[in-house]
Amino acid sequence: MARVVREPMGDQPLMLGTSARVGEVLAIRCCDIDVTSAVPSIRIAGTIVSRTGERTFRQDHPKTAKSTRVVALPTFTSDAVRRRLAIADILKPDELLFQSRDGTPLTTANVRRQLRHVLGDAGIRGVTPHLFRRTVATMVNDFASVDLAAELLGHTDPKITVMYYIRRSELVNPATAALLDQALARDTP
């Protein structure tokens, strides 16, 4: 069994850089990672399942068929993955990138609890792994499109992305004022 060195909260760069669900991040295996290509990527192809009274296990498919995807990694994420691989001493392709000291899958509840603890110590409240997904979806929508955000999140329908993930901007396009001036303005002496 490989020696596992725990890097506290090392999964956040992956959640932000891939917008993957926490269970999907915890299910990433070494064989799913390509950080040596010109465009580093991770294949999201599973999830962690924890059921009451049963052992936590890696399910060989994510939430939906469309949720299986290969995500290009931003630099901060590929750097974090390289650091993780360097300290984790993972040898086998099927080994999980994040695992317990005894080589078993981490639970999503444990990661959520660790996140609350670390952020709580810093005086930060209300941040959840799901908030990372919503933040990424909103950013991708703002800078590109809702379709690209839905694709990144692994959604089958962009309506789900809009309804539950993208934060609506309160700022109305200022062009509306010019349009109203043009349409409704009266000639005044």
Domains and CATH numbers, the chain: 12-106 (1.10.443.10)
pLDDT for the residue numbered 6 = 41
pLDDT for the residue numbered 53 = 93
Q: How far apart are CA 57 and CA 119, in angstroms?
A: 27
Phi-psi region of 76 (alpha: psi -120 to 50; beta: other; left: phi over 0): alpha
pLDDT for the residue numbered 161 = 96
Read off the tokens for 65. 């068929």
Contacts of 47 (CB under 8 A, 6+ apart): 21, 23, 24, 26, 27, 58, 59, 61, 62, 63
pLDDT for the residue numbered 5 = 38
Do 68 and 61 touch, CB atoms closer than 8 A?
yes
pLDDT for the residue numbered 87 = 86
pLDDT for the residue numbered 155 = 93
Q: How far apart are CA 47 and CA 98, in angstroms?
A: 12
* Residue ranges in the chain assigned as alpha helix (H): 12-18, 22-26, 75-88, 108-121, 129-143, 146-153, 158-164, 175-184
Contacts of 187 (CB under 8 A, 6+ apart): none
pLDDT per residue of the chain (189 residues) written in tens, 0 to 9: 343 334 444 678 899 999 999 999 999 999 999 999 999 999 999 999 999 999 999 999 999 877 999 999 999 999 999 999 988 877 789 999 999 989 899 999 999 999 999 999 999 999 999 999 999 999 999 999 999 999 999 999 999 999 999 988 888 889 999 999 999 987 655
> Could you tell me which of 122, 159, 172, 155 has the C-alpha nearest to residue 20?
155
Q: How far apart are CA 180 and CA 125, in angstroms?
A: 42
pLDDT for the residue numbered 1 = 39
